[in-house]
């Protein structure tokens, strides 16, 4: 029996060694079997608690399975051992009931303390609202230095990498066109919600994770201990592009953060002037801008050539919406279509919506020659005449 076990163990060891030699050394260097290194005080608390509980579980595993394997090996029939006949033992049952209770009570104290600390969002230095969309994040700085700053953050990984025609970059699917910037050492309160379906705002290194639920505002917080860039993802299955809405938080020093705030506010003023709905817009201006908006928001479903991926994602080239009345086209972009992946895009600026609709109506096989202006979008958002044609018939044509 022992010889058989020895041969089996030797064979398994040889196989494991052979497999390990086939794996590049760099794979082992990059492999980590643990939580990400925390960059916040609450993160260190969670990390330490996780480590303690893990080692307690390891100790219990060794004791229980060690005793079980010893009992099986030392009392096996092949060595002449005869099975004993016995019933419950009072003190043994007391012991295996009391000991786990003591362990659980001992762990409950630090776990409760950490949970209370994790939920204490009072007295923040900075408050940021994060809104989940299919599939991007919107951010509004509501309190503290930077109040009034708003922007959207979308995946910036090139489509060529996603489609496999180019090598994947070091931050594949974890890079965005704009990042959340916060100052180091300041308590940041996150107000998290969603505009369509359930999302989740999750940055492991900052030990922050909160579900984003439509119609509700949930809050959480973090305080970064050191400058750096920290990456996360949406952690709730939210639809087709769930894996394509990363989160990037850049922690800056107080001085660098103040410079960022100044630059953002200056850029917002320039954008406000450039997006003025009342300024004269030309068809070419809107088409050029619309191409960029389309690439950032629509190409994943409707494809770069406008042919989509029917039946889930219909073609825009030659579609009844894109070559029909522009009021219907505007209505469906603003309101979406229930029961499909076509989400509303009211969160985009008036100029962006006007530009992308104009681009869709004058690209590929679509040659309407007309355009939608930001003023028309503004009127539609405000319940003006431009929103009137949003009938069931128009929506169904999408």
pLDDT band at 175 (very low <50, low <70, confident <90, very high): very high
Residues 386 and 247 in one domain: no
What pLDDT score was predicted for residue 11? 52
Residues 193 and 309 in one domain: no
Residues 367 and 293 in one domain: yes
What pLDDT score was predicted for residue 26? 43
Place of tokens 């949930």: 218
- Residue 191 forms part of a structural domain: yes
pLDDT band at 81 (very low <50, low <70, confident <90, very high): confident
Q: Does the structure show a pLDDT above 50 at 385?
A: no
Q: What is the rounded distance in angstroms from the CA atom of residue 367 to the CA atom of residue 317?
A: 10
What pLDDT score was predicted for residue 296? 81
Residues 222 and 354 in one domain: no
Residues 27 and 38 in one domain: no
Q: What's the rounded mean pLDDT across residues 120-146?
A: 93
What pLDDT score was predicted for residue 19? 47
pLDDT band at 31 (very low <50, low <70, confident <90, very high): low
If one counts every other C-beta atom within 10 angstroms of the C-beta of residue 64, the result is 11
- The C-alpha angle 66, 70, 73, rounded to 5 degrees, equals 140
Q: Helices 326-335 and 350-361, interaxial angle, to 10°?
A: 130
Of the chain, the percentage scoring pLDDT greater than 90 comes to 44
pLDDT in tens, 285-299: 888 888 888 888 888
What pLDDT score was predicted for residue 24? 47
What pLDDT score was predicted for residue 51? 92
Query: Is the pLDDT higher at 26 or at 171?
Result: 171
Residues 261 and 302 in one domain: no
Residues 260 and 153 in one domain: yes
Q: Does the structure show a pLDDT above 70 at 398?
A: no
Q: What is the CATH number of the domain that holds 238?
A: 2.60.40.420
- Residue 10 forms part of a structural domain: yes
Q: What is the rounded distance in angstroms from the CA atom of residue 302 to the CA atom of residue 324?
A: 18
Q: Does the structure show a pLDDT above 50 at 231?
A: yes
Residues 253 and 311 in one domain: no
Residues 238 and 270 in one domain: yes
Q: What's the rounded mean pLDDT across residues 195-199?
A: 91
Q: If we measure between CA atoms, which residue out of 321, 337, 338 comes closest to residue 372?
A: 321
Q: What is the rounded distance in angstroms from the CA atom of residue 332 to the CA atom of residue 327?
A: 9
What pLDDT score was predicted for residue 268? 87
Residues 25 and 38 in one domain: no
- Residue 339 forms part of a structural domain: yes
- Residue 332 forms part of a structural domain: yes
What pLDDT score was predicted for residue 364? 92
- Residue 327 forms part of a structural domain: yes
pLDDT in tens, 47-75: 999 999 999 999 999 999 999 999 888 88
- Residue 83 forms part of a structural domain: no
- Residue 45 forms part of a structural domain: yes
Q: What is the CATH number of the domain that holds 60?
A: 1.10.287.90
- pTM reported for the whole predicted model: 0.74
What pLDDT score was predicted for residue 80? 82
Whole-number Cα distances in Å, 8 to 38, 79, 298: 42, 21, 57
Query: Is the pLDDT higher at 24 or at 114?
Result: 114
Q: What is the CATH number of the domain that holds 342?
A: 1.10.760.10
What pLDDT score was predicted for residue 6? 47
What pLDDT score was predicted for residue 369? 87
CA 137 to chain centre: 9
pLDDT in tens, 351-361: 889 989 999 89
Average pLDDT taken over every residue of the chain = 84
Of the chain, the percentage scoring pLDDT greater than 70 comes to 88
Residues 255 and 366 in one domain: no
Q: What's the rounded mean pLDDT across residues 356-373?
A: 89
Domain count, the chain: 4
Residues 218 and 237 in one domain: yes
Q: Which domain holds residue 5?
A: 1-31
pLDDT in tens, 232-252: 999 999 888 899 999 999 999
- Residue 168 forms part of a structural domain: yes
Domain end residue (candidates: 69, 100, 120): 120
């Amino acid at each position: 029996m022992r010889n058989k076990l020895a041969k089996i163990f030797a064979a398994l060891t040889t196989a494991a060694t052979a497999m390990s030699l086939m794996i590049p050394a760099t794979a082992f260097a990059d492999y980590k079997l643990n939580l990400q290194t925390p960059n916040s005080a609450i993160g260190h608390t969670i990390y330490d608690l996780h480590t303690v509980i893990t080692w307690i579980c390891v100790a219990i595993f060794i004791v229980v399975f060690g005793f079980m394997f010893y009992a099986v090996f030392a009392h096996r029939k092949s060595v002449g051992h005869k099975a004993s006949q016995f019933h419950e033992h009072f003190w043994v049952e007391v012991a295996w009931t009391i000991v786990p209770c003591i362990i659980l009570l001992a762990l409950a104290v630090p776990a409760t303390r950490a949970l209370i600390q994790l939920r204490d969002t009072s007295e923040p230095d900075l408050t940021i609202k994060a809104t989940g969309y299919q599939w991007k994040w919107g951010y509004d700085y509501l309190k503290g230095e930077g109040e009034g700053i708003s922007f959207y953050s979308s995946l910036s990984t090139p489509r060529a990498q996603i489609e496999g025609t180019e090598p994947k970059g070091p931050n594949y699917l974890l890079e965005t066109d704009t990042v959340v910037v916060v100052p180091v050492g300041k308590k940041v309160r996150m107000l998290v919600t969603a505009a369509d379906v359930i999302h989740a705002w999750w940055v492991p290194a900052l030990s922050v994770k909160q579900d984003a639920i439509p119609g509700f505002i949930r809050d959480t917080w973090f305080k970064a201990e050191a400058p750096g860039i920290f990456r996360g993802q949406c952690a709730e299955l939210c639809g087709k592009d769930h894996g394509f809405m990363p989160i990037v938080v850049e922690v800056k020093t107080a001085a660098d953060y103040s410079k960022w705030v100044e630059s953002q506010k200056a850029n917002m003023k320039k954008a406000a002037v450039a997006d003025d709905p009342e300024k004269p817009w030309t068809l070419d201006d809107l088409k050029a801008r619309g191409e960029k908006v389309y690439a950032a928001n629509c190409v994943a479903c409707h494809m770069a050539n406008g042919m989509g991926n029917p039946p889930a994602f219909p073609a825009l080239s030659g579609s009844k919406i894109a070559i029909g009345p522009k009021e219907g086209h505007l209505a469906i972009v603003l309101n979406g279509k229930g029961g499909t992946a076509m989400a509303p895009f009211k969160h985009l600026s008036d100029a962006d919506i006007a530009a992308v609709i104009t681009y869709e109506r004058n690209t590929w096989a679509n040659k309407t020659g007309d355009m939608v202006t930001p003023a028309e979008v503004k009127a539609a958002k405000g319940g003006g005449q431009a929103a009137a044609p949003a009938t069931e018939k128009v929506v169904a044509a999408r």
